[in-house]
Structure 1
Amino acid sequence: MGSPLDSREQQAEEVVERLSEAYPNATISLRFSDRLELLIAVILSAQCTDERVNRVTEELFEKYDGPEDYANADQEELAEDISSITYYNNKAGYIRDACGIIASKHDGEVPDTMKALTELPGVGRKTANVVLQHGHEVVEGVVVDTHVKRLSRRLGVTRESSPERIEQELMELLERDRWQEFTHLCISHGRATCTARNPDCDDCVLEDVCPSSKLDGEVDLASGEAW
């Protein structure tokens, strides 16, 4: 057996190859027509399903047009517009404040750098990565959502627990041109098969290489011991 890093590199490569065959059309499921709509949709998607976000934004994007509209919106009215979304009061505030900054400091354009994006209210590295990848075609990192975190650990690709540490490790293990794809593959597989509860291991294309399908818990590929 090689070094722990080598073992995890091989595991990560095998995971991507198999999932890319199983989900050849995996991509972002949020609906948007421009960068601002993308940013708003991703802010709304935190701890909320993309399906629900898409239902809400269908009317939201018809009502508001441009960052000034959101920035000048009545806080309570905007919150009511997104009231079926989790943490809608907080998210309404994030959207208003972020759009105010975009209008006043960025000439009404959604920023195209990690630094500028993460300075916006309600925008962390995960949200910024999504906006960069799908709004600006800039792949600066790996989007680590709940699916990516769960699958990466179950599959023995990482033993880290924080999204930031998981992202850094995935960036080391994966080829850069697979960073964006890896997220979409994990989301597709996480929804279809490797669910948070009662994953369907029997019908999983990764069952024979997944340490979690054989042991109760996650394992370290280097040592074979549960952690």
Structure 2
Amino acid sequence: MPRESLRNKQQRAQTVCQALEQAYPHSKCALLYETPFQLLVATVLSAQTTDLAVNRITPGLFTAFPTPHAMAQAPEGELEQLINSIGLWRNKAKFLRGLSAMLVQDYDGKLPQTVVELKRLPGVAKKTATAVLGSAFGLAVGITVDTHMLRIHRLLNLSQATTADKMSTELERLIDPSYWTSYTHRIIDHGRLVCVARKPRCGVCPLTAVCPSAYQADHGYQPINDTQEPASAKGLSWLA
């Protein structure tokens, strides 16, 4: 099979973007938050944990510690007790205390709006910084890649990368920056609703025309268990 040209991949990626925009017009970040700081906290908590599990604990967490100032001064044990139902909670509690203290000390309690500055904060990597800047501030600084993104783009043959950083770099060459944030949310919704790992619903998929893996029995690559139905699923009659 001949190697696909960059131009052809860009054209297919544009078709994917447009199809997903039509199929999932209301896709958005699945994490619950009211402020950029709360989104940062929720995103840090979501590492190796489902959004559903994070959303169960953040209402109580944000009621108790809604700001960097409050979270930095959280009494020993209280923060841990509020998040101990999710994985890696001890390390995540340390990250939340550390990033809150740094925000207070270095940024007057406000989130910086660059990847470089956000990555200075404990527990914040490029993926987290990119997701927060895109959803909280509307800044197109990159494409956030999770397990759904890895699996689906390999099926679409838009990237065969096996790491999030490498795939994000490849996809950013194919997709217009104006789509970056919304595209991430739409692919995640698509992975939860249609292109599910164990039994893809190719018969109702809006991407079959541009997906070389459509209707294949073995799709491989299993994501983490994520049973949360996105809000954007409501009203999607074509899924019936």
Q: TM-score, normalised by structure 2?
A: 0.85
Where do 5+ consecutive residues of structure 2 fail to align? 221-240
State the Cα distance separating 1:201 from its structure 2 match.
Answer: 2.0
Aligned to 2:198: 197
Distance in 1, Cα, partners of 2:39 & 2:156: 30
1:26 corresponds to which letter in structure 2?
S
1:209 Cα shift?
2.4
Q: Shift of the alpha carbon at 1:108?
A: 0.9
- 2:33 corresponding residue in structure 1: 32
Task: Give the distance between the partners of 2:47 and 2:94, measured in 1 at CA.
Answer: 14
Runs of 5+ consecutive residues of structure 1 not aligned to the other structure: 219-227
Q: RMSD between aligned alpha carbons? A: 1.8
Which residue of the partner structure matches residue 66 of structure 1? 67
The aligned residue for residue 4 of structure 1 is 5
What per-residue deviation string (whole Å, max 9, x for no partner) do you get for residues 185-221 of structure 1? Answer: 1011011011222222222222232122255558xxx
Alpha-carbon distance in 1 for matches of 2:153, 2:76: 38
User: Quick one: distance in 2 between partners of 1:14 and 1:176?
Assistant: 15
CA contact (8 A) 2:202 2:215 kept: no
Shift of 1:63: 0.7
Residue 3 (structure 1) shift: 4.8
Is the contact between residue 102 and residue 108 of structure 1 (CA under 8 Å) also seen in structure 2? Answer: yes
Question: Residues of 2 paired with 1:134 and 1:8: CA distance?
Answer: 26
How many percent identity over aligned positions? 37
Question: Comparing 119-128 with 67-76, which one deviates more in the overlay?
Answer: 67-76
Q: Is the 8 A contact 2:197 2:219 kept in 1?
A: no
Partner of 2:151 in structure 1? Answer: 150
Residues 1:84 and 2:85 aligned together: yes
Residues 75 and 93 in structure 1, CA contact (< 8 A), matched pair in contact too: no
- Within 5 Å, give how 1:1-227 maps onto structure 2: 3-215=4-216, 216=218
CA deviations 1:148-205 (Å, max 9, x no partner) are 1111111111111111111111111011111112101101101101122222222222
What is the aligned partner in structure 1 of residue 237 from structure 2? none
Instruction: Report the counterpart of residue 226 of structure 2 in structure 1.
Output: none
Separation in structure 1 between the aligned mates of residue 137 and residue 76 of structure 2, nearest angstrom: 29
